[in-house]
Structure 1
Amino acid sequence: MPRRSPEGAGADRAGKSDKGGASGDAAADVAACKELLRRGSKSFAAASLLLPERVRDPVAVVYAFCRVADDEVDEGIGGLGAVRALERRLDRACAGTPEEGPVDRALARVMAERALPRVFLEALLEGLQWDAEGRRYATLSALNAYAARVAGAVGAVMAVLMDTRSEEALARACDLGVAMQLTNVARDVGEDARRGRLYLPEAWLREEGMDPDAWLARPLFDARVGRVVARLLGAAEALYRRADAGIAMLPRDCRPAIRAASLIYADIGRVVVARRLDSVTGRAVTSKGRKAWLLMQALASPTPEVRGGGDAPPLAETRFLVEAR
């Protein structure tokens, strides 16, 4: 569920629907959220099918809010005004007096029923604010701080919705979210650049003899960019390996879905490598057949065999999420 995938752009329109009156119908609200999930992210939607229903429904609700928030900042009223409006919506949902619409109503129920720390969603909105401000990231640590907010926070949400709140499990869940976001960044280099955005660590570009501003003004692929993309995928892969240790900490019936999500997102990196690390002139896509094969692999072996890593401390950039549990 990491941010900045353009799949399902504009899906927030469903979040404004007002079927069901002031109090709404809980089942209809969740159904609307599931539709946002189905249209908004094919990779995450595929993995979520493996979740037990007790988790699948609240996950769809939180995803829907994330999707709405993303689209409001990128395509709605936009900018910091959109972030402020989203903060007010979150305030009302947390207070139990949500704005009208299925997403807000469903979110209010989930926040109350699951004791979901609002810090997680506040972190997401802070990450969206950074986007609205046009922030760029000098170092991997700075990029990790962004990824912690727009994706690590979602990993923490997932763990809590699975009734898993140990420090170790939340640390690994945040690792997985950050890994997925780094994969997104590596995949979307050209697409982001053409929108005037640069997420690659600028220090790495300079180490390759590149001027970030000059490259952003004329984004072209060459071996130097490829080396930076490879380096970012390496950082993501290290976090995927750490996150594998956390899957065994989840309820057994939740493990296949998280394993599938990890495999599918990590596979995007494989496609980028197969394209000779050129994510500037085109976008890496995992085929439906490949996703189906990875889903079957997750079902057959939901708990990866790992050696160590489960007790590694949280990333410095995600510690605030772990401590909010």
Structure 2
Amino acid sequence: MTQANADMEACAEMIRHGSLSFHAASKLLPADVRNPALALYAFCRLADDAVDLQQEKAAAVLQLQERLTLVYEGRPRNEAPDRAFAAVVESFQMPRALPEALLEGLAWDAMGRRYETLSDVFSYSARVASAVGAMMSVLMGVRDRDALARACDLGVAMQLTNIARDVGEDALEHRLYLPTDWLSDAGLEPEAFFANPMPTKAIRQMTRRLVMQANRLYYRSEPGIAALPLKCRPGIYAARLIYAGIGSEVAEAGYDSITSRAHTSKVQKVGWLMQAGLRSALSCVSPQAATLYAEPLPEVAFLVDAAAEQKQTWSRADSLMDALTALAANDRARKQALLTDRARPT
């Protein structure tokens, strides 16, 4: 087995255990897209886990920035996801701004950033999800701005679904992705919610609003799927249907994502995979929907620009550096607060 094949096997194994929904949808992608997509998702999974599982989150994000720099210099670390992603970057001329956007979103996570408005949540979703959608479009050879805008719609929709599903799980970790102005309108303080997370009517209404926003974007994304190469459509339709199905399960539970966590069964996934194949076939004879040409969400426009420019060196290093600087300052303040607490007489 060649090194490249061994690296791809390792990436596939990471996805098999780390992202069941994408693993299921990827089976419908053609091999020339599926393999680089697995490499892409493995690197994204590695990045996500590096921040989630480390105590020193600022250091973890800075190390990821160094790894990304080595990837773009053609000198990846001697690890399967790095080598595989470096091959993808070289083969597809992946604009650096796209993975940098993902790292910026992870930096926001690491500093425990909260989001005041729905637009702020969209901005976060653009970085941690739509950036991946834009990179997937590049892997499929799609650089058309309208199709890229719809791919970014799909990414935001998927992230909103994740947030709606994980309200309770996030609260236990003192993470909050619901817009804080929604909580203020309901007379709720984040810290009080963390102390006693309950599926109150207000919280369930907020969860419902997220699911409704996600559904709106799922529908708006579909003309973009029909604009992809035919061989790629089943896999992306499958991802859209599986994630929307998670939102349906949240709705079925009365938008209570605190006492239960929505999940989908293997039987449901098989049904959505079959439906994805049917929708792909129908997309060949259906007229193109006018919503394909809708303007991109303002929060994702920079991703559309980066992917459409077809310049590998197109970068947003200043924006990423701002996030990393804020993260480092946040980390120093946290450590100083810990030292101050320890120094106080008991």
> Does TM-score exceed 0.5, indicating one fold?
yes
For residue 281 of structure 1, give the secondary structure of its aligned residue in structure 2. Answer: coil
Residue 204 of structure 1 deviates from its aligned partner by 1.3
1:66 aligns with 2:48: no
- Deviation of 1:308 after TM superposition, in Å, equals 2.3
Aligned to 1:39: 17
Residue 314 (structure 1) aligned with residue 288 (structure 2): no
CA distance in 2, matches of 1:38, 1:95: 29
1:72·1:78 contact (CA, 8 Å) conserved in 2?
no
* Per-residue Cα deviation, 1:199-247 (whole angstroms, up to 9, x for no partner): 0111112222322231122211111111000111111111101100101
What is the TM-score of this pair, normalised by structure 1?
A: 0.91
8 A contact 1:137–1:143 mirrored in 2: yes
Which structure features the higher share of helix residues?
A: 2
- Structure 2 residue 28 is the aligned partner of structure 1 residue 50: yes
Residue 250, structure 1, aligned to residue 228, structure 2:
yes
Residue 249 of structure 2: aligned partner: 271
Select which of 182, 202, 213 maps to 1:224. 202
Unaligned 5+ residue runs, structure 2?
308-346
Q: Distance in 1 between matches of 2:3 and 2:64?
A: 22
**Larger mean Cα displacement after TM superposition, 72-81 or 244-253:** 72-81
Letter of the 1:25 partner, please give it: Q
| Matched residue, 2:167 | 189
Which ranges in structure 1 are unaligned for 5 or more consecutive residues? 1-19
Q: Counterparts of 2:183 and 2:266 in 1: how far apart (Å)?
A: 34
* Offset from partner CA, 1:71-97 (integer Å, 9 cap, x none): 111113541110000000000001101
Q: CA RMSD in A?
A: 1.3
Counterparts of 2:151 and 2:64, CA distance in 1: 25
Give the share of equivalent positions with the same residue, in percent.
51
Distance, in Å, in 2 between the alignment partners of 1:87 and 1:320 is 20
Aligned residue-pair number: 303
Q: Which amino acid aligns with 1:82?
A: A
In the alignment, residue 308 of structure 1 is paired with which amino acid? A
Paired residue secondary structure (2:299) = coil
Larger radius of gyration: 2
In structure 1, distance between residues paired with 2:301 and 2:268: 34
SS at 2:82 equivalent: helix
Higher relative contact order (CA 8 A, sep 6+): 2
Instruction: Tell me which residue corresponds to 1:123.
Output: 101
Per the alignment, residue 179 of structure 1 pairs with 157
CA–CA distance in structure 1, aligned partners of residues 274 and 70 of structure 2: 41
Match of 2:136 in 1: 158
| Aligned match of 1:137 | 115
1: CA distance, partners of 2:61 / 2:211? 30
Flag as ranges the 4+ runs of structure 1 deviating above 6 A.
none
Q: Which residue identity does 2:74 align to in structure 1? A: G
Q: What CA distance in whole angstroms lies between the structure 2 residues aligned with 1:128 and 1:69? A: 8
